[in-house]
Structure 1
Protein backbone atom coordinates (compact mmCIF):
# COMPACT_ATOMS: atom_id res chain seq x y z
CA UNK A 1 0.00 0.00 0.00
CA UNK A 2 1.62 3.23 -1.20
CA UNK A 3 -1.08 5.73 -0.28
CA UNK A 4 -4.36 6.31 1.54
CA UNK A 5 -7.12 8.74 0.64
CA UNK A 6 -9.26 10.91 2.86
CA UNK A 7 -12.48 12.26 1.35
CA UNK A 8 -14.78 14.92 2.76
CA UNK A 9 -18.00 15.34 0.78
CA UNK A 10 -20.91 17.69 1.43
CA UNK A 11 -23.71 19.52 -0.28
CA UNK A 12 -21.42 22.13 -1.83
CA UNK A 13 -18.10 20.45 -2.55
CA UNK A 14 -15.97 17.34 -2.23
CA UNK A 15 -12.38 17.49 -0.99
CA UNK A 16 -9.77 14.77 -1.25
CA UNK A 17 -6.37 14.40 0.40
CA UNK A 18 -3.75 11.93 -0.74
CA UNK A 19 -1.49 10.78 2.09
CA UNK A 20 1.19 8.28 2.95
CA UNK A 21 0.09 5.23 4.95
CA UNK A 22 1.19 6.97 8.16
CA UNK A 23 -1.01 9.99 7.43
CA UNK A 24 1.39 12.55 5.95
CA UNK A 25 -0.66 14.57 3.45
CA UNK A 26 0.95 14.88 0.03
CA UNK A 27 -1.73 16.85 -1.80
CA UNK A 28 -5.30 18.10 -1.67
CA UNK A 29 -7.92 18.63 -4.34
CA UNK A 30 -11.51 19.77 -4.66
CA UNK A 31 -14.48 19.03 -6.89
CA UNK A 32 -18.27 19.37 -6.88
CA UNK A 33 -20.93 18.36 -4.37
CA UNK A 34 -20.99 14.89 -2.84
CA UNK A 35 -24.20 14.43 -0.85
CA UNK A 36 -24.91 10.77 -1.51
CA UNK A 37 -28.58 10.98 -0.53
CA UNK A 38 -29.54 13.78 -2.90
CA UNK A 39 -27.37 12.68 -5.84
CA UNK A 40 -25.60 9.33 -5.49
CA UNK A 41 -24.34 9.16 -9.07
CA UNK A 42 -23.15 12.76 -9.10
CA UNK A 43 -21.45 12.27 -5.73
CA UNK A 44 -19.59 9.23 -7.04
CA UNK A 45 -18.40 11.22 -10.08
CA UNK A 46 -17.16 14.10 -7.94
CA UNK A 47 -15.48 11.80 -5.40
CA UNK A 48 -13.50 10.06 -8.12
CA UNK A 49 -12.68 13.38 -9.77
CA UNK A 50 -11.36 14.82 -6.49
CA UNK A 51 -9.27 11.69 -5.91
CA UNK A 52 -7.87 11.86 -9.43
CA UNK A 53 -6.96 15.54 -9.01
CA UNK A 54 -5.25 14.75 -5.70
CA UNK A 55 -3.06 12.13 -7.38
CA UNK A 56 -2.15 14.55 -10.15
CA UNK A 57 -1.40 17.35 -7.66
CA UNK A 58 1.03 15.01 -5.89
CA UNK A 59 2.71 14.09 -9.18
CA UNK A 60 1.36 10.54 -8.94
CA UNK A 61 -0.36 8.34 -11.49
CA UNK A 62 -4.18 8.30 -11.11
CA UNK A 63 -4.08 4.70 -12.33
CA UNK A 64 -3.08 3.90 -8.74
CA UNK A 65 -6.59 4.80 -7.54
CA UNK A 66 -7.87 1.19 -7.75
CA UNK A 67 -4.98 0.12 -5.49
CA UNK A 68 -5.61 2.83 -2.88
CA UNK A 69 -7.93 2.53 0.16
CA UNK A 70 -10.10 5.46 1.23
CA UNK A 71 -12.06 6.75 4.21
CA UNK A 72 -14.96 8.89 3.05
CA UNK A 73 -17.00 11.16 5.31
CA UNK A 74 -20.10 12.10 3.35
CA UNK A 75 -23.30 14.02 3.79
CA UNK A 76 -26.25 11.64 3.50
CA UNK A 77 -24.33 8.62 4.81
CA UNK A 78 -26.45 8.56 7.98
CA UNK A 79 -29.64 7.66 6.10
CA UNK A 80 -30.78 4.45 4.43
CA UNK A 81 -28.41 2.29 2.42
CA UNK A 82 -26.74 5.06 0.46
CA UNK A 83 -23.34 4.40 1.99
CA UNK A 84 -23.49 0.71 1.01
CA UNK A 85 -24.69 1.59 -2.49
CA UNK A 86 -21.83 4.02 -2.91
CA UNK A 87 -19.18 1.67 -1.56
CA UNK A 88 -20.24 -0.90 -4.15
CA UNK A 89 -19.51 1.46 -7.07
CA UNK A 90 -16.36 3.20 -5.86
CA UNK A 91 -13.06 2.34 -7.57
CA UNK A 92 -10.91 2.19 -4.43
CA UNK A 93 -9.44 -1.10 -3.30
CA UNK A 94 -11.22 -0.61 0.03
CA UNK A 95 -13.78 2.02 1.00
CA UNK A 96 -14.93 2.94 4.48
CA UNK A 97 -17.91 5.31 4.27
CA UNK A 98 -18.62 7.37 7.38
CA UNK A 99 -20.87 10.33 8.06
CA UNK A 100 -19.43 13.79 7.55
CA UNK A 101 -19.93 14.35 11.29
CA UNK A 102 -17.74 11.37 12.20
CA UNK A 103 -14.70 12.58 10.28
CA UNK A 104 -15.31 16.14 11.44
CA UNK A 105 -15.27 15.04 15.08
CA UNK A 106 -12.08 13.05 14.47
CA UNK A 107 -10.46 16.07 12.91
CA UNK A 108 -11.61 18.57 15.52
CA UNK A 109 -10.86 16.76 18.79
CA UNK A 110 -8.71 13.81 17.71
CA UNK A 111 -9.22 10.81 20.01
CA UNK A 112 -10.41 13.05 22.86
CA UNK A 113 -13.88 13.79 24.19
CA UNK A 114 -15.61 16.89 22.87
CA UNK A 115 -18.36 18.12 20.58
CA UNK A 116 -18.74 19.63 17.14
CA UNK A 117 -21.37 21.59 15.30
CA UNK A 118 -21.10 21.47 11.51
CA UNK A 119 -22.66 24.65 10.21
CA UNK A 120 -22.54 24.77 6.45
CA UNK A 121 -24.86 23.92 3.59
CA UNK A 122 -26.31 21.39 6.04
CA UNK A 123 -26.01 21.07 9.80
CA UNK A 124 -25.00 18.14 11.98
CA UNK A 125 -23.79 17.72 15.53
CA UNK A 126 -21.79 15.08 17.38
CA UNK A 127 -20.54 14.69 20.91
CA UNK A 128 -18.07 12.14 22.31
CA UNK A 129 -18.07 11.42 26.02
CA UNK A 130 -15.99 8.67 27.64
CA UNK A 131 -15.15 7.48 24.15
CA UNK A 132 -18.78 7.02 23.09
CA UNK A 133 -20.09 9.21 20.25
CA UNK A 134 -23.63 10.44 19.70
CA UNK A 135 -24.88 12.19 16.58
CA UNK A 136 -27.66 14.77 16.33
CA UNK A 137 -29.37 16.00 13.15
CA UNK A 138 -28.05 15.76 9.62
CA UNK A 139 -31.44 14.74 8.23
CA UNK A 140 -31.41 16.94 5.13
CA UNK A 141 -32.88 20.39 4.70
CA UNK A 142 -36.36 19.26 3.66
CA UNK A 143 -37.08 17.87 7.13
CA UNK A 144 -34.04 18.87 9.17
CA UNK A 145 -30.73 20.78 8.96
CA UNK A 146 -32.20 23.66 10.94
CA UNK A 147 -29.85 26.64 10.90
CA UNK A 148 -28.10 25.41 7.76
CA UNK A 149 -27.20 27.52 4.78
CA UNK A 150 -29.79 25.62 2.76
CA UNK A 151 -32.55 26.37 5.27
CA UNK A 152 -31.51 30.02 5.56
CA UNK A 153 -31.62 30.37 1.78
CA UNK A 154 -34.98 28.64 1.61
CA UNK A 155 -36.31 30.90 4.36
CA UNK A 156 -35.12 33.94 2.45
CA UNK A 157 -37.02 32.89 -0.67
CA UNK A 158 -40.11 32.15 1.41
CA UNK A 159 -39.96 35.58 3.06
CA UNK A 160 -39.42 37.20 -0.34
CA UNK A 161 -42.64 35.66 -1.63
CA UNK A 162 -44.51 36.59 1.55
CA UNK A 163 -43.36 40.17 1.06
CA UNK A 164 -44.42 40.10 -2.59
CA UNK A 165 -47.92 38.97 -1.54
CA UNK A 166 -48.08 41.67 1.13
CA UNK A 167 -48.30 39.14 3.95
CA UNK A 168 -45.21 40.57 5.58
CA UNK A 169 -43.42 43.88 5.18
CA UNK A 170 -40.83 43.99 2.42
CA UNK A 171 -37.23 44.89 3.21
CA UNK A 172 -34.22 45.92 1.14
CA UNK A 173 -33.15 42.26 1.10
CA UNK A 174 -36.47 40.87 -0.13
CA UNK A 175 -36.64 43.58 -2.81
CA UNK A 176 -33.09 42.72 -3.88
CA UNK A 177 -33.94 39.03 -4.05
CA UNK A 178 -37.00 39.66 -6.16
CA UNK A 179 -34.81 41.61 -8.57
CA UNK A 180 -32.51 38.59 -8.81
CA UNK A 181 -35.52 36.70 -10.16
CA UNK A 182 -36.54 39.47 -12.59
CA UNK A 183 -39.29 40.67 -10.26
CA UNK A 184 -41.26 37.55 -11.14
CA UNK A 185 -42.37 35.33 -8.24
CA UNK A 186 -42.93 32.49 -10.66
CA UNK A 187 -39.20 32.47 -11.37
CA UNK A 188 -38.60 32.01 -7.64
CA UNK A 189 -40.88 28.97 -7.65
CA UNK A 190 -39.23 27.57 -10.79
CA UNK A 191 -35.81 27.92 -9.16
CA UNK A 192 -36.92 25.66 -6.31
CA UNK A 193 -38.06 22.91 -8.67
CA UNK A 194 -34.58 21.57 -9.33
CA UNK A 195 -32.48 23.47 -6.78
CA UNK A 196 -30.18 21.41 -4.58
CA UNK A 197 -29.20 22.28 -0.99
CA UNK A 198 -26.07 24.06 -2.18
CA UNK A 199 -28.14 26.27 -4.48
CA UNK A 200 -30.27 27.44 -1.57
CA UNK A 201 -27.21 27.73 0.65
CA UNK A 202 -25.58 30.14 -1.78
CA UNK A 203 -27.92 32.86 -0.50
CA UNK A 204 -26.97 32.42 3.18
CA UNK A 205 -23.98 34.82 3.30
CA UNK A 206 -26.20 37.52 1.79
CA UNK A 207 -28.64 37.05 4.69
CA UNK A 208 -25.92 37.42 7.32
CA UNK A 209 -24.55 40.50 5.55
CA UNK A 210 -28.00 42.08 5.46
CA UNK A 211 -28.59 41.25 9.13
CA UNK A 212 -25.42 43.16 10.01
CA UNK A 213 -26.96 46.18 8.28
CA UNK A 214 -30.17 45.84 10.27
CA UNK A 215 -32.41 44.48 7.52
CA UNK A 216 -35.58 43.43 9.34
CA UNK A 217 -36.19 40.22 7.40
CA UNK A 218 -32.54 39.16 7.58
CA UNK A 219 -32.41 39.82 11.33
CA UNK A 220 -35.49 37.63 11.78
CA UNK A 221 -34.06 34.77 9.69
CA UNK A 222 -30.67 34.85 11.46
CA UNK A 223 -32.26 34.99 14.92
CA UNK A 224 -34.37 31.96 14.05
CA UNK A 225 -31.31 30.11 12.74
CA UNK A 226 -29.25 30.88 15.88
CA UNK A 227 -32.10 29.66 18.06
CA UNK A 228 -32.27 26.44 16.02
CA UNK A 229 -28.52 25.87 16.40
CA UNK A 230 -28.64 26.45 20.14
CA UNK A 231 -31.60 24.07 20.50
CA UNK A 232 -29.43 21.32 19.00
CA UNK A 233 -26.41 22.26 21.11
CA UNK A 234 -28.58 22.00 24.23
CA UNK A 235 -29.25 18.32 23.49
CA UNK A 236 -25.52 17.53 23.51
CA UNK A 237 -25.43 18.00 27.28
CA UNK A 238 -22.32 20.17 27.36
CA UNK A 239 -20.87 21.32 30.67
CA UNK A 240 -18.35 23.90 31.77
CA UNK A 241 -14.88 22.88 30.63
CA UNK A 242 -16.10 20.81 27.69
CA UNK A 243 -14.73 21.42 24.21
CA UNK A 244 -17.03 22.68 21.46
CA UNK A 245 -15.74 23.24 17.94
CA UNK A 246 -17.74 25.00 15.25
CA UNK A 247 -17.02 23.76 11.74
CA UNK A 248 -18.25 24.58 8.26
CA UNK A 249 -18.49 27.68 6.12
CA UNK A 250 -21.02 29.43 8.38
CA UNK A 251 -19.13 28.74 11.63
CA UNK A 252 -17.41 32.18 11.75
CA UNK A 253 -20.79 33.85 11.24
CA UNK A 254 -22.46 31.91 14.03
CA UNK A 255 -19.68 32.03 16.65
CA UNK A 256 -20.17 35.66 17.79
CA UNK A 257 -23.95 35.25 17.79
CA UNK A 258 -24.12 32.32 20.21
CA UNK A 259 -25.09 32.92 23.83
CA UNK A 260 -22.23 33.22 26.37
CA UNK A 261 -22.69 29.68 27.73
CA UNK A 262 -21.68 28.26 24.33
CA UNK A 263 -19.14 30.91 23.36
CA UNK A 264 -17.23 30.08 26.56
CA UNK A 265 -16.82 26.46 25.38
CA UNK A 266 -15.53 27.28 21.91
CA UNK A 267 -12.07 26.06 20.98
CA UNK A 268 -10.24 25.96 17.69
CA UNK A 269 -10.39 22.52 16.05
CA UNK A 270 -7.18 20.51 15.92
CA UNK A 271 -7.79 19.85 12.24
CA UNK A 272 -10.62 20.00 9.73
CA UNK A 273 -12.88 17.17 8.56
CA UNK A 274 -10.56 16.25 5.71
CA UNK A 275 -7.71 15.92 8.18
CA UNK A 276 -9.97 13.69 10.27
CA UNK A 277 -10.62 11.45 7.28
CA UNK A 278 -6.89 11.15 6.61
CA UNK A 279 -6.15 10.35 10.24
CA UNK A 280 -8.89 7.72 10.28
CA UNK A 281 -7.65 6.21 7.02
CA UNK A 282 -4.10 5.93 8.33
CA UNK A 283 -5.32 4.27 11.51
CA UNK A 284 -7.86 1.93 9.91
CA UNK A 285 -5.89 0.67 6.95
CA UNK A 286 -2.60 0.42 8.82
CA UNK A 287 -4.43 -2.02 11.10
CA UNK A 288 -5.16 -4.34 8.18
CA UNK A 289 -8.03 -4.94 5.76
CA UNK A 290 -10.34 -6.45 8.38
CA UNK A 291 -10.46 -3.11 10.24
CA UNK A 292 -12.14 -1.46 7.26
CA UNK A 293 -15.10 -3.85 7.31
Structure 2
Protein backbone atom coordinates (compact mmCIF):
# COMPACT_ATOMS: atom_id res chain seq x y z
CA UNK A 1 0.00 0.00 0.00
CA UNK A 2 1.26 3.50 -0.72
CA UNK A 3 3.24 4.73 2.25
CA UNK A 4 1.10 7.87 2.57
CA UNK A 5 -1.94 5.75 3.33
CA UNK A 6 -0.19 3.35 5.70
CA UNK A 7 -0.41 3.60 9.47
CA UNK A 8 3.20 3.87 10.59
CA UNK A 9 4.80 3.12 13.92
CA UNK A 10 6.76 5.99 15.49
CA UNK A 11 9.07 5.36 18.43
CA UNK A 12 8.26 8.66 20.19
CA UNK A 13 4.99 10.36 21.07
CA UNK A 14 4.26 13.60 19.27
CA UNK A 15 4.57 16.44 21.76
CA UNK A 16 3.53 19.55 19.83
CA UNK A 17 1.10 20.43 17.08
CA UNK A 18 2.27 21.86 13.79
CA UNK A 19 0.11 24.98 13.90
CA UNK A 20 3.24 27.12 14.18
CA UNK A 21 4.55 25.92 10.82
CA UNK A 22 4.31 28.60 8.12
CA UNK A 23 2.05 27.86 5.19
CA UNK A 24 4.99 28.45 2.85
CA UNK A 25 7.19 25.56 1.79
CA UNK A 26 10.25 25.04 3.96
CA UNK A 27 13.72 23.54 3.92
CA UNK A 28 14.11 19.87 4.81
CA UNK A 29 17.36 19.15 6.64
CA UNK A 30 18.65 15.77 7.81
CA UNK A 31 21.54 15.13 10.18
CA UNK A 32 21.49 11.40 10.91
CA UNK A 33 24.33 10.30 13.18
CA UNK A 34 23.23 6.69 13.08
CA UNK A 35 20.05 4.66 12.81
CA UNK A 36 19.30 1.02 13.52
CA UNK A 37 15.89 -0.61 13.59
CA UNK A 38 14.33 -1.07 17.05
CA UNK A 39 15.60 -4.20 18.77
CA UNK A 40 18.72 -4.49 16.61
CA UNK A 41 22.32 -3.30 16.89
CA UNK A 42 23.04 -3.16 13.16
CA UNK A 43 23.58 0.35 11.83
CA UNK A 44 21.46 0.86 8.71
CA UNK A 45 22.39 4.53 8.21
CA UNK A 46 25.45 6.45 9.43
CA UNK A 47 26.61 10.00 8.92
CA UNK A 48 23.82 11.11 6.57
CA UNK A 49 23.50 14.85 6.04
CA UNK A 50 21.67 16.89 3.43
CA UNK A 51 19.73 20.11 3.03
CA UNK A 52 16.89 20.25 0.55
CA UNK A 53 15.59 23.76 -0.09
CA UNK A 54 11.96 24.45 -1.06
CA UNK A 55 11.41 23.50 -4.68
CA UNK A 56 14.59 21.43 -4.82
CA UNK A 57 14.95 17.90 -6.15
CA UNK A 58 17.07 15.32 -4.33
CA UNK A 59 18.04 12.04 -5.99
CA UNK A 60 19.10 8.99 -3.98
CA UNK A 61 20.70 5.89 -5.45
CA UNK A 62 22.91 2.98 -4.48
CA UNK A 63 22.96 -0.80 -4.51
CA UNK A 64 20.17 -2.89 -3.01
CA UNK A 65 20.24 -2.73 0.78
CA UNK A 66 22.18 0.53 0.92
CA UNK A 67 19.55 2.31 3.03
CA UNK A 68 17.57 4.27 0.44
CA UNK A 69 14.11 3.15 1.53
CA UNK A 70 15.09 3.38 5.21
CA UNK A 71 16.00 7.04 4.69
CA UNK A 72 12.61 7.69 3.11
CA UNK A 73 10.92 5.87 6.00
CA UNK A 74 12.59 8.25 8.45
CA UNK A 75 11.42 11.26 6.46
CA UNK A 76 7.87 9.88 6.56
CA UNK A 77 8.27 9.18 10.30
CA UNK A 78 7.74 5.46 10.18
CA UNK A 79 10.49 5.64 12.79
CA UNK A 80 12.04 8.47 14.81
CA UNK A 81 15.74 9.03 15.37
CA UNK A 82 17.52 8.68 18.69
CA UNK A 83 20.86 9.86 17.28
CA UNK A 84 20.41 12.78 14.93
CA UNK A 85 17.49 14.80 13.66
CA UNK A 86 15.39 15.61 10.60
CA UNK A 87 13.94 19.13 10.55
CA UNK A 88 11.35 20.90 8.42
CA UNK A 89 11.09 24.68 8.58
CA UNK A 90 13.56 24.41 11.46
CA UNK A 91 11.26 22.17 13.54
CA UNK A 92 12.34 18.59 14.38
CA UNK A 93 9.83 16.16 12.91
CA UNK A 94 8.89 14.58 16.29
CA UNK A 95 7.64 18.03 17.36
CA UNK A 96 5.03 18.01 14.60
CA UNK A 97 1.64 16.38 14.70
CA UNK A 98 2.14 13.12 12.80
CA UNK A 99 -0.95 13.42 10.61
CA UNK A 100 -0.18 17.07 9.95
CA UNK A 101 3.30 16.19 8.71
CA UNK A 102 2.09 13.39 6.48
CA UNK A 103 -0.49 15.66 4.90
CA UNK A 104 2.46 17.60 3.51
CA UNK A 105 3.77 14.47 1.77
CA UNK A 106 2.67 12.50 -1.27
CA UNK A 107 4.44 9.16 -1.64
CA UNK A 108 4.61 6.69 -4.52
CA UNK A 109 6.24 3.32 -3.91
CA UNK A 110 7.61 0.70 -6.27
CA UNK A 111 4.63 -1.53 -5.42
CA UNK A 112 1.55 0.72 -5.51
CA UNK A 113 -1.79 -0.13 -3.96
CA UNK A 114 -5.05 0.10 -5.90
CA UNK A 115 -8.42 -0.88 -4.50
CA UNK A 116 -11.50 -2.33 -6.15
CA UNK A 117 -13.18 0.77 -7.56
CA UNK A 118 -13.05 2.93 -10.66
CA UNK A 119 -9.85 4.34 -12.10
CA UNK A 120 -11.12 7.86 -11.34
CA UNK A 121 -11.80 7.07 -7.68
CA UNK A 122 -8.40 5.43 -7.31
CA UNK A 123 -6.69 8.56 -8.62
CA UNK A 124 -8.83 10.83 -6.43
CA UNK A 125 -8.25 8.83 -3.24
CA UNK A 126 -6.15 11.57 -1.64
CA UNK A 127 -8.23 14.40 -3.11
CA UNK A 128 -11.87 13.24 -3.08
CA UNK A 129 -13.20 16.69 -4.04
CA UNK A 130 -11.21 16.76 -7.30
CA UNK A 131 -13.14 17.35 -10.52
CA UNK A 132 -12.96 14.96 -13.46
CA UNK A 133 -10.90 17.52 -15.35
CA UNK A 134 -8.37 17.69 -12.50
CA UNK A 135 -8.21 13.89 -12.37
CA UNK A 136 -7.53 13.72 -16.10
CA UNK A 137 -4.87 16.44 -15.89
CA UNK A 138 -3.05 14.42 -13.22
CA UNK A 139 -3.29 11.31 -15.39
CA UNK A 140 -1.82 13.22 -18.33
CA UNK A 141 1.12 14.34 -16.19
CA UNK A 142 1.67 10.72 -15.18
CA UNK A 143 1.46 9.62 -18.83
CA UNK A 144 -1.39 7.20 -18.17
CA UNK A 145 -4.32 9.15 -19.69
CA UNK A 146 -4.16 7.40 -23.07
CA UNK A 147 -3.96 3.98 -21.41
CA UNK A 148 -7.09 4.78 -19.41
CA UNK A 149 -9.00 5.89 -22.50
CA UNK A 150 -8.35 2.47 -24.06
CA UNK A 151 -9.93 0.65 -21.11
CA UNK A 152 -13.54 -0.58 -21.56
CA UNK A 153 -15.16 2.27 -19.60
CA UNK A 154 -12.31 4.76 -19.53
CA UNK A 155 -12.02 6.48 -16.16
CA UNK A 156 -15.12 4.63 -14.96
CA UNK A 157 -13.51 1.22 -15.50
CA UNK A 158 -13.53 -0.96 -12.40
CA UNK A 159 -9.95 -2.04 -11.81
CA UNK A 160 -10.67 -5.07 -9.61
CA UNK A 161 -9.02 -6.07 -6.35
CA UNK A 162 -5.48 -4.62 -6.15
CA UNK A 163 -5.68 -3.56 -9.78
CA UNK A 164 -5.10 -7.06 -11.14
CA UNK A 165 -6.34 -6.14 -14.62
CA UNK A 166 -3.62 -3.50 -15.05
CA UNK A 167 0.05 -3.88 -15.87
CA UNK A 168 2.70 -3.00 -13.31
CA UNK A 169 3.59 0.14 -15.21
CA UNK A 170 -0.04 1.27 -15.41
CA UNK A 171 -0.52 0.76 -11.68
CA UNK A 172 2.61 2.78 -10.93
CA UNK A 173 1.46 5.62 -13.17
CA UNK A 174 -2.05 5.65 -11.69
CA UNK A 175 -0.46 5.82 -8.24
CA UNK A 176 1.74 8.68 -9.46
CA UNK A 177 -1.33 10.51 -10.80
CA UNK A 178 -2.93 10.11 -7.36
CA UNK A 179 0.11 11.67 -5.70
CA UNK A 180 0.26 14.56 -8.18
CA UNK A 181 -3.44 15.31 -7.68
CA UNK A 182 -2.83 15.71 -3.94
CA UNK A 183 -0.59 18.70 -4.73
CA UNK A 184 1.45 18.11 -1.57
CA UNK A 185 4.46 20.17 -0.55
CA UNK A 186 6.86 17.24 -0.87
CA UNK A 187 6.61 14.47 -3.47
CA UNK A 188 8.50 11.25 -2.64
CA UNK A 189 9.08 8.72 -5.41
CA UNK A 190 10.58 5.46 -4.14
CA UNK A 191 11.70 3.69 -7.33
CA UNK A 192 8.22 4.57 -8.52
CA UNK A 193 8.96 4.28 -12.26
CA UNK A 194 10.71 0.91 -12.16
CA UNK A 195 7.99 -0.84 -14.20
CA UNK A 196 7.78 1.70 -17.05
CA UNK A 197 9.97 1.71 -20.14
CA UNK A 198 12.72 4.26 -20.65
CA UNK A 199 10.79 6.35 -23.16
CA UNK A 200 7.75 6.67 -20.89
CA UNK A 201 10.00 7.44 -17.93
CA UNK A 202 11.65 10.27 -19.87
CA UNK A 203 8.25 11.69 -20.84
CA UNK A 204 6.97 11.58 -17.25
CA UNK A 205 10.09 13.19 -15.81
CA UNK A 206 10.03 15.96 -18.41
CA UNK A 207 6.45 16.77 -17.44
CA UNK A 208 7.34 16.62 -13.74
CA UNK A 209 10.09 19.19 -14.26
CA UNK A 210 7.48 21.63 -15.56
CA UNK A 211 4.87 20.66 -12.94
CA UNK A 212 7.12 20.80 -9.88
CA UNK A 213 7.84 24.54 -9.91
CA UNK A 214 8.05 25.43 -6.21
CA UNK A 215 7.49 21.83 -5.07
CA UNK A 216 10.09 19.66 -3.36
CA UNK A 217 10.84 16.23 -4.84
CA UNK A 218 12.79 13.30 -3.39
CA UNK A 219 13.35 10.40 -5.78
CA UNK A 220 15.14 7.09 -5.36
CA UNK A 221 15.82 4.91 -8.36
CA UNK A 222 17.82 1.94 -9.54
CA UNK A 223 17.65 3.27 -13.11
CA UNK A 224 19.94 6.29 -12.91
CA UNK A 225 18.33 8.05 -15.88
CA UNK A 226 15.45 8.91 -13.51
CA UNK A 227 17.79 11.12 -11.46
CA UNK A 228 19.20 13.34 -14.20
CA UNK A 229 17.06 16.33 -13.25
CA UNK A 230 18.03 16.26 -9.56
CA UNK A 231 19.78 19.29 -8.06
CA UNK A 232 21.86 16.88 -5.98
CA UNK A 233 22.26 13.11 -5.99
CA UNK A 234 23.34 11.10 -2.95
CA UNK A 235 25.03 7.73 -3.54
CA UNK A 236 24.48 5.41 -0.58
CA UNK A 237 26.59 2.33 0.05
CA UNK A 238 26.21 0.30 3.23
CA UNK A 239 24.22 3.12 4.80
CA UNK A 240 26.77 5.87 4.17
CA UNK A 241 27.05 8.62 1.57
CA UNK A 242 30.00 7.70 -0.64
CA UNK A 243 29.38 10.25 -3.41
CA UNK A 244 27.27 13.34 -3.88
CA UNK A 245 26.78 15.86 -6.68
CA UNK A 246 24.83 16.42 -9.88
CA UNK A 247 24.45 13.71 -12.52
CA UNK A 248 27.02 15.49 -14.70
CA UNK A 249 29.58 15.68 -11.89
CA UNK A 250 29.10 12.07 -10.78
CA UNK A 251 29.34 10.78 -14.35
CA UNK A 252 32.92 12.10 -14.45
CA UNK A 253 33.91 10.89 -10.99
CA UNK A 254 35.32 7.42 -10.39
CA UNK A 255 32.96 5.42 -8.24
CA UNK A 256 29.74 3.44 -8.05
CA UNK A 257 27.62 6.00 -9.92
CA UNK A 258 29.81 6.15 -13.02
CA UNK A 259 30.25 2.38 -13.15
CA UNK A 260 26.51 1.75 -12.85
CA UNK A 261 25.67 4.50 -15.33
CA UNK A 262 28.02 3.00 -17.92
CA UNK A 263 26.65 -0.48 -17.29
CA UNK A 264 23.03 0.66 -17.68
CA UNK A 265 23.79 2.56 -20.88
CA UNK A 266 25.50 -0.51 -22.33
CA UNK A 267 22.60 -2.75 -21.32
CA UNK A 268 20.08 -0.33 -22.86
CA UNK A 269 22.06 -0.13 -26.09
CA UNK A 270 22.26 -3.92 -26.28
CA UNK A 271 18.53 -4.23 -25.63
CA UNK A 272 17.73 -1.77 -28.42
CA UNK A 273 20.04 -3.65 -30.78
CA UNK A 274 18.26 -6.93 -30.03
CA UNK A 275 14.80 -5.37 -30.48
CA UNK A 276 15.77 -3.47 -33.65
CA UNK A 277 18.59 -5.36 -35.36
CA UNK A 278 20.35 -3.72 -38.28
CA UNK A 279 19.47 -5.28 -41.68
CA UNK A 280 22.16 -7.53 -43.10
CA UNK A 281 24.09 -6.29 -46.10
CA UNK A 282 23.98 -8.42 -49.23
TM tier relative to shorter chain:
under 0.3
TM-score, structure 2 as length reference: 0.28
Query: TM-score of the superposition, structure 1-length normalised?
Result: 0.27
